Structure 1
Amino acid sequence: MKTIFDHRSIRKYQSTPISEELLSKILDAGTRASTTGNMQLYSVVVTRDEANKSKLAPLHFNQPMVKEAPVLLTICADLNRFNRWCELRNADAGYDNFLWILNAFIDASLFAQNICLAAESEGLGICYLGTALYNAPEISQALGLPKGVIPVTAITVGYPDHNPPLTDRLPLDAVVHYESYNANTDERVNKLFAEKEALESSAKFVVENNKENLAQVFTDVRYKKADNIYFSEKLTTFLKEQGFEI
């Protein structure tokens, strides 16, 4: 519980390497996560080599920690391995559809979170990189991913070189619904987001981006509709190229 409640994203790392023994222990912990039908529909590509991290860095929008962290993990949804096993056993695999994309994404996400908890419990810091989905085709090519394998997220791992404050979260009432879903009325939404909007950091974001409120920072600056459509179409095309029917 302490590891969970102390979590923060680490974006600055010491140069101290992670031992092979510790890394293997952390990755092994990842495999103990829950998984669809015990099929383990995930894989991870470990990148330590400086040259290879430099090749991947632009695909993660050149975020400095990609090259700075001693280890970069690319977590993939992987149906290739299970499909190949089925083929070799004369079993007719029907796992090339949208349902199984979601199942594999869930498996990969659970695997990734176990890795992060294990890493943090050993004194390491981590940071999720959502950019793996944004540039999935290019990352796939760089890592030699075969059909049926999709990069879901990347994680930087290393010994922290800073101690950032905990990130704010919405109140528990925002995400917990008992028995049935609570309608998001105007009053409820205003109440749930009031604390986040009142933060000094939120006010700073609004001023820096010359916006009227925090919501506009998200819609007009951080995650713009035009970008969302572009990357969605790019990802959809890639999924089809990887052999999925969607």
Structure 2
Amino acid sequence: MDMINETIALQQEHRTIREFTDEPVAKEIMDTILRVAQRTATSNGMQSYSIIRVTDPELKEAIARVGNQAYIAREPELLIFIVDSYRNGRIALEKGYNGEAHKDMDRFFQGWTDACLAAQNVVLAAESLGLGANYLGCILNDSAKMIELLKLPELTFPVVGVGLGYPNQTPQLKPRMDMSLRVFENSYSTLDDYLAAIAEYDQEMQTYYDLRNANKRVDSFSDQVVSKLVNVIPGRQDILNVIKSQGFNLMIK
């Protein structure tokens, strides 16, 4: 028997909301949501991330072009979570530190993880207050352009965007793969026939309608996997070079 409380029920009802009403999100609500972000767990207590709150309509339009998603320009609230090793690097410099560790990949991934955790907490807090949300991984379609648009200094890097507002749509719950294929005990388990293992899930996915194209059912999951691998986004293949150009030491031998 599943153990359910109000929080778990809310988490199990998560839907991606891409269209919102014109109702603005009150300052008090945004202040509360940002306090939740402030209290999110952070690696070594270093708080190696920051949030850019995008309020300029022209900037939203430009980000929408990067993500190739027109609805981004209509987000009532748009938050961009970034790796931020710049701030701690400056703090250390002002304390007399002259090393290079603040540029390494350990610090980068601490910031990346911190940003992801904060984004998840923000979405849950927003949904608990009656808002809808969407994650915007598409900002990485052109990370160099995002850096330019947001005027990000060295040792920062965009991770994910989050759009918030009051929902103006009620999408279906998107089917998920069975956890028996995703949870292993003590070591990773491989299968001889993955297509057989996901056959039912493939069929279930074809009953789902994505409201971005509401008159068309989506492809099976296995077809989506192939499509994503075939239709690569060039800007995403250059991410490591952009990270390097931001001053991080990739330490690749």
Q: TM-score, normalised by structure 1?
A: 0.88
Deviation at 1:219, TM superposition (A): 2.2
8 Å CA contact retained: 2:142, 2:236:
no
**Are 2:56 and 1:83 aligned?**
no
**Are 2:245 and 1:241 aligned?**
yes
Q: Residue 117 of structure 1 corresponds to which residue in structure 2?
A: 124
Cα deviation per residue 1:59-101 (whole Å; 9 max; x = unaligned)?
111x132112211111101111111111111123502122222
Cα deviation per residue 1:7-42 (whole Å; 9 max; x = unaligned)?
010011101101111111101101222111100111
Q: Residue 5 of structure 2 corresponds to which residue in structure 1?
A: none
**Partner of 2:206: helix, strand, or coil?**
helix
Q: Residue 105 of structure 2 corresponds to which residue in structure 1?
A: 98
Instruction: List runs of 5+ in structure 1 lacking aligned partners.
Output: none
Structure 1 Cα separation of the partners of residues 9 and 224 of structure 2: 32
Structure 1 Cα separation of the partners of residues 75 and 36 of structure 2: 20
Cα deviation per residue 1:112-147 (whole Å; 9 max; x = unaligned)?
101111111111011111112221110111111000
Give matches, 1:45-56, under 5 Å.
45-56=52-63
**Are 2:198 and 1:193 aligned?**
yes
**Are 2:76 and 1:70 aligned?**
yes
8 Å CA contact retained: 1:13, 1:161:
yes
Deviation at 1:214, TM superposition (A): 4.4
Q: TM-score, normalised by structure 2?
A: 0.86
8 Å CA contact retained: 2:63, 2:139:
no
Q: Give the one of 226, 240, 244 matched to 1:219.
A: 226
Residues 22 and 233 (structure 1), Cα distance of their counterparts in 2 relative to 1, 3 Å cut: same
Q: Residue 178 of structure 2 corresponds to which residue in structure 1?
A: 171
8 Å CA contact retained: 1:202, 1:214:
no
Structure 2 Cα separation of the partners of residues 51 and 216 of structure 1: 36
Residues 196 and 102 (structure 1), Cα distance of their counterparts in 2 relative to 1, 3 Å cut: same
Q: Residue 160 of structure 1 corresponds to which residue in structure 2?
A: 167
Residues 95 and 195 (structure 1), Cα distance of their counterparts in 2 relative to 1, 3 Å cut: farther
Structure 1 Cα separation of the partners of residues 120 and 19 of structure 2: 20
Instruction: List runs of 5+ in structure 2 lacking aligned partners.
Output: 1-7, 211-215
- Show structure 1 runs of 4+ deviating over 3 A: 202-205
Residues 33 and 204 (structure 1), Cα distance of their counterparts in 2 relative to 1, 3 Å cut: closer
Residues 54 and 42 (structure 1), Cα distance of their counterparts in 2 relative to 1, 3 Å cut: same
Amino acid aligned to 1:172: M
8 Å CA contact retained: 1:171, 1:192:
no
Tell me the C-alpha RMSD between the 2 structures: 2.2
Amino acid aligned to 1:234: D
Residues 82 and 192 (structure 1), Cα distance of their counterparts in 2 relative to 1, 3 Å cut: farther
Deviation at 1:204, TM superposition (A): 8.6
Residues 218 and 178 (structure 1), Cα distance of their counterparts in 2 relative to 1, 3 Å cut: closer
**Partner of 2:103: helix, strand, or coil?**
coil
Amino acid aligned to 1:194: A
**Partner of 1:199: helix, strand, or coil?**
helix
Structure 2 Cα separation of the partners of residues 192 and 66 of structure 1: 36
8 Å CA contact retained: 2:51, 2:81:
yes
Amino acid aligned to 1:237: N
Structure 1 Cα separation of the partners of residues 160 and 239 of structure 2: 13
Residues 93 and 86 (structure 1), Cα distance of their counterparts in 2 relative to 1, 3 Å cut: farther
Deviation at 1:232, TM superposition (A): 4.1
8 Å CA contact retained: 2:175, 2:205:
no
